[in-house]
Amino acid sequence: MDRFLIETNIKWVFIYMFNIKKMFKVILLFSIIVTLFSFCVNANERLKIAFIPKSLDNPIFLDTFEAAQKTADRLDVILEWVAPFETSTKGQVKIINNLIKQNVDGIIISANNSESLKTVINEAFDKGIPVVTFDSDSYNSERLTYVGTDNYLVGSEMGNSLLNILKEQGKIKNQQEIMILSGVKGASNLKNRIEGFINSINENIKVKEVDIVYCDDNIQLAIELVEEYLKNNMSTDIVFFAGGWPFYAPADAMPNFKKWADQGGIAVGIDIFYSALILQKEGLIDYLIGQDFKNMGIKSLEIIVDFIKDKKEPKEFIDTGYTISNKDNIDHLLKIYKPWEVR
């Protein structure tokens, strides 16, 4: 690639960087820089692996990106971090079709919609391109393996933890009104979490009603939906966050949620990162379960490279485990988890 062209593109990237307002858009900038340099160094002699998160505007994947890039350097493969900027199943399908045309060596994807992505994943398989799913599976497809959380298990664990909280507060016999915040309707990871959660509580407490609200993995929309829902339904007893979309906002940005929690509302949720722990420390969240996104990045890349090079067949499911956060260990976790910064 022409050196002047590279320098011009890099200059454009950094000019853009200083004008963006949201920290997590830096993922897109990193991916541009990585891609520019990748093609300059023996591109035809190294494996090219595409990594497709659900979107580029969700900072939950920052740890995955960083870990995957370090692993790619160690394994001497080219990593292409590419995804729709905002969550879009059609966008992911289009990207995979383009990658098939480019004849990449492998694809790793967090599936926005399990069923909708099955056909294009199978097309990649038919072309000899192995596909690994991470974070969110497409379990009926020809994907090689799924690397991530046992989502039904963590949903069930969340339900059991909620039952313990209700017992401690003497509310176990009360009739409960529950709101669940989810992301994209067709995402298998979210469906499994909700199913595990509901199944674990149904036989143990009286549930008056369960409302499921979908934010399409949009952080700002998630905050607005929670605020609007609680404004109109302050009698809600429990909120289960199937993902941590609203947890990036400080408590002051969610006055209705804060008021609801102060009045005795119980909130439990999946995903642990620094600002989520701060909300928990301030008493807005009672219990959290976190996933290991770094390990997803490492394992997914190692597995697909081993398969391509040595035809090493992985297990059907690679469990990356989970972490819990409650009143007993939150101070310890706050020392481990750090605020995301532009690196």
Note down pLDDT in tens along the chain; length 343 residues. Answer: 444 333 333 333 333 333 434 444 444 555 545 445 544 444 458 999 999 999 999 999 999 999 999 999 999 999 999 999 999 999 999 999 999 999 999 999 999 999 999 999 999 999 999 999 999 999 999 999 999 999 999 999 999 999 999 999 999 999 999 999 999 999 999 999 999 999 999 989 999 999 999 999 999 999 999 999 999 999 999 999 999 999 999 999 999 999 999 999 999 999 999 999 999 999 999 999 999 999 999 999 999 999 999 999 999 999 999 999 999 999 999 999 988 643 3
pLDDT at 45: 82
Q: Residue 280 burial (CB < 10 Å; 0-12/13-18/19+)?
A: buried
Which domains does the chain show, CATH number per domain? 3-149+292-312 (3.40.50.2300), 151-291+326-336 (3.40.50.2300)
Count of CA atoms in the C-beta half-sphere (13 A) of 132:
30
CA dihedral 308, 314, 317, 319 (to 10 degrees): -90
Question: Over the stretch 71-123, which tens digit does the pLDDT of each residue have?
Answer: 999 999 999 999 999 999 999 999 999 999 999 999 999 999 999 999 999 99
pLDDT at 343: 36
Q: Residue 340 burial (CB < 10 Å; 0-12/13-18/19+)?
A: middle
CA 149 to mean position of chain CA atoms? 10
CA 36 to mean position of chain CA atoms? 26
What residues pair up with 180 in beta bridges, in sequence order?
Answer: 212, 240
Reduced to 3 states, what is the DSSP secondary structure of residue 321?
A: coil
Is 288:280 a contact under the CB 8 Å cutoff? yes
Nearest to 271 by CA among 317, 197, 214, 323: 323
* Measured distance CA(150)–CA(167) in Å, rounded: 26
Exposure string for 237-260, b = 16+ CB within 10 A, e = fewer: bbbbbbbbbbbbbebeebebbbeb
pLDDT at 6: 37
pLDDT at 295: 98
- Neighbour count for residue 298 (Cβ, 10 Å): 19
CA 37 to mean position of chain CA atoms? 27
Count of CA atoms in the C-beta half-sphere (13 A) of 327:
6
* Measured distance CA(12)–CA(16) in Å, rounded: 6
The structure tokens 């990748």 sit at 38
The two three-digit tokens of residue 146, written as one number: 């799924």
Q: What is the pTM of this model?
A: 0.86
DSSP 56: S
pLDDT at 1: 43
